[in-house]
Structure 1
């Protein structure tokens, strides 16, 4: 790593250089998120990889495990706006995207922005919103724009959605169809923290109230985040690794227990997340290990068929496809 002084992480992210010049930003982002979500360092790595890959994240977990706290911390770290939507059956599409209202003074319609006009949006219990409302959010996720009254409104290029689902309470829920699940880059489950992390959390909160907690400093700006995402998109992948990735995608489609395998869009997402994983490991090239490491969170949200858990299918596919020897 270069020993030259770093003025600030945000300034560093604007430089056009090697992986090392981005490392202070990545390290600070890790520290900030790990201080928020204790004992889940691997999950934090995948969340950062999802962000750098310009994807969106689906969290399927029980209430109270830190999903909202993580989303807020991420928004503060990238210096952006945070918005939260509690999805319920009576939530309207306009409650998410915004709406036009007639201004009697100007005698014109004015557009009132909805929660999607933010850098980080938390869609809590997304499967409780109606399919119509879900669709309005997925246009924003896929196109980073919304259409209101035949007018297109652009969102920030770094718009990032964290959606949650409760896996135990399905009453009154509207399960997301496969085509909409494919809009998420990955699905994660945090689970409960370990004993040491819970003890540390309790000790830190003795005598403290929510209002006493100072906000996290901005590590990035929305513009510097875009620059970092552009850099990640340029991480090199040699041809043998690309062939390996295609072979893995093909294997999911030909597996006897899979009715819906990996789509070309899913293959592109897998590639982008693997590039982000390589970048987080300090490399400017992707290896088969990077592809394997992110296989589970990327494929869990995409495979459907006659099986209880996709994890067995993923392990079979990874074991059956020959791993290339990279030069």
Structure 2
């Protein structure tokens, strides 16, 4: 067994999940056994689940059709992509990561998560390794917080671009946090075959970070996500830009049928588990809904640090498998 595998924090992290502590000490390990896994503990508990959403005044929207960027170079008239300016000070005030706060505890925690994501992308461990889904078992476990921070952290890498897709159609927490509201998005592209990907793409003032919103709600959202059209869109996202990582913030796995359908299209899944709340049965049921051939990473969220603990911890695939 490796030194990391014998680190006492691993047992503590498992025991903090609700249920029988003797059984739950290996909960994450047993859930991880189904898939190739890595687990990170995130302890920025207060910032994980911001309750209040901004009114929208923090984002400036400017159509680029026939316009110029702030840098001064001309944008082709046929470029219909919309430019949005994210209020980075607002994000930082609500505990989110920004390019200016990359020497923080949260930044280090996101680095641990993204290292696994990047490694799978570079080595092509799985098919569509650049399609990454962030989810949880239930609402309010911090998945959208992790998704947005992971996207920003990845965008700070110099080797690739990042596309963050808010695909939580009922509770679009990412777009609400950014003050973007409802606009043309993924669901609209699914319903209209004439809509091009560039028409729903939003360019941000964070270099190498773009966004796509959920679009307008539809009662047939699950069926649309299961359609051949969605498979084509996912394939286009994966293939059009080989240096682009696409992150989907989806609904919780046990809240509706949509995330299970989306999971079939993904190469990687980042699963957020709330410490001392997520029940063993719920986690196992949610993980069973994921395809067996995707790469799964588990993030233990809102963990209360003990005396002498570091502010974050990382457990790799090897240390887990040695204990199972």
TM-score class normalised by the smaller sequence? 0.3 to 0.5
If asked which structure has higher relative contact order (CA below 8 Å, sep 6+), I would say: 2
More helix by share: 1
TM-score by length of 2: 0.35
TM-score by length of 1: 0.34
